[in-house]
Amino acid sequence: MNLRSDAIKKGLERVPHRALLSATGITRKDMSKPFIAVATSFNDIIPGHIGMRDLERFIERGIAAGGGVPFFFGIPGICDGIAMGHPGMRYPLALRELIADSIECFVNAHSLDGLVCLTNCDKITPGMLMAAARLNVPTIVVTAGPMLSGRFKKKRLSLVGDAFEVVGKFKRGEISEADLGCFEEEACPGAGACQGLYTANTMACITEAMGMSLPGCATALAVSAKKRRIAEESGEKIVELVKNNVTSLKIMTRPAFENGIKIDMALGGSSNTVLHLLAIAREAGVDLTLKDFDKISKDTPHIASLLPGGEHFMEDLDYAGGIPAVLKSLRSKIHDVPTVSGMSTHKIAYSAVISDDDVIKLPENAYHAEGGIAVLFGNLAPKGAVVKQSAVSDKMMRFIGRARVFECEEDAQKAILGGKIKDGDCVVIRYEGPKGGPGMREMLAPTAAIIGMGLADSVALITDGRFSGGTRGCCIGHVAPEAVEGGPIAAVKEGDTILIDLAKRKLELKISDKELKSRLKKVKVPAPKVQSGYLARYAKMVSSADLGAVLKV
């Protein structure tokens, strides 16, 4: 084999390199084997990552069994749920870029042959995929798996519905303080990514659908023996990929990206995936735009009813057959492309079994004719805005409301929980975009408060920020251009009329073009919210949401 790692292992001039490698404990025999980097995002504070020490052991066993030498290194992670609703939420999207850069640095500096990415939660998976595309070395992704549902009396619990949304219900007097305490302790019973099709699990499903994880990986529960077996098999498989020179860009092709988007639309996944797939595609040299998402959505039926917009949990999707079964249901629309497993997507689909057709429906019995995400345009979002339409009720598919304008998330949250938002209001939160935030904060706290306050079918929310995968309701995010760049959202005034029409893909501020131009000339952009450190640098370099909020070179 011709290995990348020969650059640090072979030849007389590499005596000092081999001496340093010997200091790590590897043998002379190991010097002839593929060197495999294992990027692990284990830490003690993210529930989705606390079980990774166990999976690391099985990946290590697999690499050794396959004839490789593993080298583990750490990658930072942030729990979006813990960062939610305060300035900490400025960091997760910005961290995505640091993760990609860190992996690039480690793998290229040490001339390693292959890469295993052990990941799970929200921005960490896309950051690792960005690195995989940039490096173009053989890569396999192991997502650590979903969390089991919680339990309270006879009810199954999830983080968003039974922790975030109960805040509003408690404010309304719908639940007691004792029950609130039970929800707090029981909603998240242990290791794993939050139980619905929020961003972490959506990205896991997309990663598998694109062919970058082994079949079954996305939905195999964090606490399962199945996940351990997948981890070990992934370790073996990466050595095989290195030996056969199956690099990441041989898997991450334009058809593979389209497969990922189709699975996202079919399941009704997180709107964050639009940002992430645009960013990953850019690294892979694949031309992908917002219009591609909308085009694919219009041609992909929504065949699963998963949290937050539906009733089923990730554990239900796994028991129903996981992503292979979803591929089977959509097989006529799925491109036949290679995967890291060695099987093509069609072969995976044909060998799959749909064991519960209430959880994974056939296209003719779909919940909706269109997929989960819609892209809106109009004078309020000339470069586009994104909504998870599968989580919007029929009553709110077309909405005309009064603008209630807030310059930050915290002010909007106070107004919602303070009972100041009424039926027919359209909450507008601006200066929370990639630059203005900075970091494009997720708005799960206010969107969950709207649900908890009983306003889901009468109030909309629009922002140049973004939403958690757990958001449901008529919530329009990623409005571009953002306010700090002079986007029309900066010109909205209290009481303005706003039209949202999901079927027609419209987002409009009901004023004349002349009035809009006049207002925009008078807009005074506020000073940057953060003026030092990484976020200040990030704000200066980050692109618009419609381009994936990536750092400009």
- Secondary structure of 393-420 as H, E, C letters: CHHHCEEEEEEEEECCHHHHHHHHHCCC
Asked if residue 2 is part of any domain, the answer here is no
Asked if residue 7 is part of any domain, the answer here is no
Burial tier of 254 (Cβ tally within 10 Å: 0-12, 13-18, 19+): middle
The whole-number average pLDDT for the span 344-350 is: 98
What are the phi and psi torsion angles at 320 (to 5°)?
Answer: -85, -5
**Closest by CA position to 266, among listed 344, 339, 205, 348:** 205
Give the per-residue pLDDT at 144. Answer: 98
3-class SS at 165? helix
Q: 224 and 98, same structural domain?
A: yes
pLDDT tens-digit profile of 403-443? Answer: 999 999 999 999 999 999 999 999 999 999 999 999 999 99
Is the entire prediction scored with pTM above 0.95?
Answer: yes
CATH of the domain at 395: 3.50.30.80
Q: 334 and 261, same structural domain?
A: yes
Asked if residue 366 is part of any domain, the answer here is no
Give the per-residue pLDDT at 189. Answer: 97
Last-in-domain residue among 188, 204, 236: 188
Q: 224 and 328, same structural domain?
A: yes
Tokens standing for residue 454? 């009983």
Give the per-residue pLDDT at 1. Answer: 82
Domain count, the chain: 3
Give the per-residue pLDDT at 334. Answer: 98
Sorted by sequence, the CB contacts under 8 Å of residue 461 that are 6+ apart come out as: 412, 426, 427, 428, 429, 443, 446, 447, 450, 473, 474, 475, 476
Range of the domain at 483: 373-547
Asked if residue 255 is part of any domain, the answer here is yes
The residue type of 302 is H
Asked if residue 175 is part of any domain, the answer here is yes
Asked if residue 452 is part of any domain, the answer here is yes
Q: 217 and 180, same structural domain?
A: no
CATH of the domain at 273: 3.40.50.2300
Q: Would you list the DSSP string of 441-483?
A: -B-HHHHHHHHHTT-TTT-EEEESSB--TT--SSEEEEEES-G
Asked if residue 486 is part of any domain, the answer here is yes
Asked if residue 497 is part of any domain, the answer here is yes
Q: 347 and 221, same structural domain?
A: yes
3-class SS at 549? coil
> Is 468 an annotated catalytic residue?
yes
Q: 123 and 171, same structural domain?
A: no
Mean pLDDT (the chain) is: 97
Q: 383 and 258, same structural domain?
A: no
What pairs with residue 116 in β-bridges?
Answer: 38, 140
Looking at the predicted structure, is the pLDDT value of residue 226 above 90? yes
**Closest by CA position to 266, among listed 193, 332, 327, 349:** 327
Nearest-angstrom CA–CA distance, 69 and 91: 34
pLDDT tens-digit profile of 129-154? Answer: 999 999 999 999 999 999 999 999 99
Q: 199 and 60, same structural domain?
A: yes
The whole-number average pLDDT for the span 381-394 is: 97
Sorted by sequence, the CB contacts under 8 Å of residue 184 that are 6+ apart come out as: 163
The residue type of 165 is E
Nearest-angstrom CA–CA distance, 553 and 542: 9
Active-site choice (158, 213, 270, 468): 468
Q: 116 and 162, same structural domain?
A: no
The whole-number average pLDDT for the span 283-294 is: 98
pLDDT tens-digit profile of 445-487? Answer: 999 999 999 999 999 999 999 999 999 999 999 999 999 999 9
pLDDT tens-digit profile of 310-327? Answer: 999 999 999 999 999 999
Q: 450 and 466, same structural domain?
A: yes
Q: 261 and 120, same structural domain?
A: yes
**Residue 359 pLDDT class (50, 70, 90 cuts):** very high
Give the per-residue pLDDT at 444. Answer: 95
C-beta neighbour count of 295 within 10 angstroms: 14
Last-in-domain residue among 162, 188, 214: 188
Last-in-domain residue among 159, 188, 217: 188
**Residue 536 pLDDT class (50, 70, 90 cuts):** very high
Q: 241 and 123, same structural domain?
A: yes
**Residue 553 pLDDT class (50, 70, 90 cuts):** confident
**Closest by CA position to 487, among listed 478, 496, 499, 500:** 478
The whole-number average pLDDT for the span 98-112 is: 98
